[in-house]
Amino acid sequence: MSIDPTQDYFTLFGLPRQYALDESVLEAAWHELQSQVHPDRYAHLPDVDKRRSMQWATRVNEGFRTLKKPLARAQYLLELAGVDTALETNTVMSPEFLMEQMEWREAVEEARAAGEVDELEQLHHRLQTHAREVRSDLALQLDEAHDYTAAADTVRRLMFIDKLQQEIDEALLALEE
Amino acid sequence: MALLQIAEPGMSAEPHKHRLAVGIDLGTTNSLVATVRNGIAVCLADETGRTMLPSVVRYRADGSIEVGHKPMAAQATDARNTIVSVKRFMGRGLKDVAHVEAMPYDFEDTAGMVRLRTVQGVKSPVEVSAEILRTLRKRAEASLGGELVGAVITVPAYFDDAQRQATKDAARLAGLPVLRLLNEPTAAAVAYGLDNAAEGVYAVYDLGGGTFDLSILKLSRGVFEVLSTNGDAALGGDDFDHRLFCWILDKSGVAPLSLEDARRLQMKAREAKELLSVCEEATIHVHLGSGEEVDLVVTRDEFADMTRHLVQKTLGPVRKALRDAGLAADEIKGVVMVGGATRMPHIQHAVAEFFGQEPLTNLDPDKVVALGAAMQANVLAGNRRDEDDWLLLDVIPLSLGLETMGGLTEKVIPRNSTLPIARAQEFTTFKDGQTAMAFHVVQGERELVTDCRSLARFELRGIPPMVAGAARIRVSFQVDADGLLSVAAREMSSGVEASVLVKPSYGLTDDEIAGMLKSGVEHAGDDMMARALREQQVEGERVIEATEQAIAKDAALLSAEERVTIEQSIATLRELCSGKDHRAIKSGIEALARATDGFAARRMDNSIRSALAGHKVDEFEV
């Protein structure tokens, strides 16, 4: 297999290894790479070329997805920096944060049980704003302070927020159906 | 002397050597075949000048098979053996098919996919669809004057893995090499986008005979990126006919119908529906075989009223697709209407109201999918010219996952992921000393496995005995550019490796397909061995040509030794291709592939490096 597992996604996409990212540059690089490796470019060639093209195109898509989503990008940067990424097993969070999470969750549960679509949508937007604030902390920790321990903690907080956001979306979906 | 010119990957080496390729819209009600001639996509007509082939197949008692217009009339007289809308049964069990009670067929509910008992024996929907594809292949070969290199076959974007695999198998049975399965709305977007040089975010609203899709695409500088897709694989124009049919029964109060009378009334309902797209009212006048007479008038408003819920049903997927794309309705630049059913005025009104703009109806909703498929087929076959530099980035419509404890679904690949995609997930054992593990692969969005579509079950055996939770079993999903899944599982923590590769099954085994292929070929009076030989010869020549092009372009990446080995393999393969042994040719192709493996890998790396190098020069000027 020709895919070089040691080459990281930032190198693959020709981007600096940092959290701050210009999405339009990432997207242009994605299109450029796919126009070289996409299976549609190899459909008339022998199977061995098709197979390799699929492997490459798969890796390019996975790289794009990882770099595009802020949370995935941060996790990936920490992984590259050698910081323990066993995030699921290392969830000692501050009591304040856990309290806050419980309050959010209760609000979502209540709105869901009462079928209040408007309330859920408001929660969705409030949570979005909150997530933006947390992400700007993350940008400072990763790109300026290079404080990976603090960044790992922020990543864990973002994972909670992400999960919560999913629950709100699912509740909205369920109410619509 | 002029320098030798070498084509880029995907571009034709010899412009005069046009490879014959077609796009096929395998529709619920009608099917079409199109090709690119002199740079322009055209639908190919039959000997009487008609381009649309009704997707109707009749099995006759004398062993003959009729496809298209001819068996249309037999729908009412020989309903059991005259299969219409077979697409609704592709990759589906009997319980998944709506309105079976009103259908005149003799179903056999086998595991996986439903089958139909006909006067010529039990037929799988794959075989019935293959008859339609075979008819279109022959039409294309007669019209283009040669054998096809391959076809792009369109499928509803919302088709799941089983339905896609069934479509691919039907093509295989029909002797059609599949260049790609292409989503219908994406094909329409290609035809529309290229014709109109469109840029921006578009929605494609595709209501066919039996399926509904809504895709949202971003068109920018030759890239067609699907942002999200949603739909209903069992909602289409047929359902509007059915509603009108029920209305007729209700209004006329006729006695329970014979199969033939039911079919007769269904055909009348369809005619009336089509008439109502151009007239304010339609008359339904039928003499039934029972001696009863139906004489009714239905107005456009009445029809709109009785089918309002169906129109509303399409808006749910529209909302979901918008949400998945993170867009609001007013951020859509244009709505492309596809499928004959979108001619109904009340559908156009509903879409206009939802998006706050008139939908785009300046293209033939029946042909646009086939035309887009033909454009893509032309490029995939290797006829790419400079101006054909577009790229399609499509997505998987439904999440893929595994069953976990308690009958819950663990999603491995989320819906709307860009293809191709791979994802792995690790699992562990539940009990001490456990040496085997059962996996159940499902597709769908619901939390409970029973609400999702079951794609495959397989077992991994030979796990070394360990304490519970110590084994690490990695399950990898790979979805290719056709949207088809393969799954592999392997035990990671020990030196022992146990892995399996699974293709989802839906009731047809490889042996069955081989058997059908054989009987189908015998039926067509064709010689299977001759066909296999021809296929391998064409493939062999293709591989030689591709390899020689690669050497001419990138000789610098080859060591002298490698080059000798490759050239010897080429010589051997060329020798084999002039012989009569298709298996020997196949092994010659494989030998050449092995000889060029390292070279091909270096070429791919090189082209990626140059793609990025190009980037750094212009610093992504946007």
- Structure confidence at residue A15 (pLDDT): 94
At residue B343, what are phi and psi to the nearest 5 degrees? -75, -20
Cα B254 to Cα B261: distance, rounded to the nearest angstrom: 11
Would you call B108 a catalytic residue per the annotation? no
Please check the confidence at residue B525 and state whether its pLDDT lies above 60.
Answer: no
Domain count, chain A: 2
Would you call B87 a catalytic residue per the annotation? yes
User: Residue A134's domain is classified under what CATH number?
Assistant: 1.20.1280.20
A114 domain residue, yes or no: yes
- Structure confidence at residue B518 (pLDDT): 63
More confident: A90 or B478: B478
The C-alpha of A96 sits at a distance from chain B's nearest C-alpha, in angstroms, of 31
Contacting residues of B for A64, CB less than 8 Å apart: 418
Radius of gyration for chain B, computed over Cα atoms and rounded to the nearest angstrom: 26
Among A21, A52, A68, where does a domain finish?
A68
Q: Alpha carbon of A6 to those of A12, A69, A111: distances in Å?
A: 10, 21, 47
- Structure confidence at residue A83 (pLDDT): 85
User: Residue A23's domain is classified under what CATH number?
Assistant: 1.10.287.110
Nearest residue to B245 (alpha-carbon basis) of B261, B225, B269:
B269
Quote the domain boundaries for residue A165. 95-176
A-contacting residues of B 488-507, CB under 8 Å? none
Contact of B480 with chain A, judged by CB distance below 8 Å, is answered with: yes
- Structure confidence at residue B109 (pLDDT): 81
Among A29, A53, A68, where does a domain finish?
A68
At B181 the three-state DSSP class reads strand
Residues A101 and A169 in one domain: yes
Would you call B213 a catalytic residue per the annotation? no
Contact of B200 with chain A, judged by CB distance below 8 Å, is answered with: no
Contacting residues of A for B592, CB less than 8 Å apart: 46
Residues A99 and A141 in one domain: yes
- Structure confidence at residue B618 (pLDDT): 42
Tens of pLDDT along B564-575? 999 999 999 999
Please check the confidence at residue B515 and state whether its pLDDT lies above 90.
Answer: no
Cα B128 to Cα B55: distance, rounded to the nearest angstrom: 9
Residues A54 and A126 in one domain: no
Residues A49 and A102 in one domain: no
- For chains A and B, CB pairs below 8 A equal 131
Residue B600 pLDDT level (bands cut at 50, 70, 90): confident
- Structure confidence at residue B613 (pLDDT): 65
Contact of A121 with chain B, judged by CB distance below 8 Å, is answered with: no
Contacting residues of A for B381, CB less than 8 Å apart: 43-44
Residues A103 and A148 in one domain: yes
- The residue written with tokens 């129109």 in the block is B311
Contacting residues of B for A39, CB less than 8 Å apart: 420, 480-481
Inter-chain touch B615–A32, beta carbons under 8 Å: yes
In the predicted model, residues of chain A with pLDDT beneath 50 are 1-2
Mean pLDDT for the stretch of residues B168-194: 94
At B50 the three-state DSSP class reads coil
Contact of B556 with chain A, judged by CB distance below 8 Å, is answered with: no
- Structure confidence at residue A2 (pLDDT): 46
Residues A55 and A115 in one domain: no
Q: Is the peptide bond before B256 cis (omega within 30 degrees of 0)?
A: no
Contacting residues of B for A45, CB less than 8 Å apart: 9, 542, 546
Cα B13 to Cα B382: distance, rounded to the nearest angstrom: 8
> Among partner residues B391, B481, B612, which is closest to A31 by beta-carbon distance?
B391
Whole-number mean pLDDT of chain B?
A: 88
Chain A residue with the nearest C-alpha to that of B606: A36
- Structure confidence at residue B15 (pLDDT): 46
Residues A146 and A100 in one domain: yes
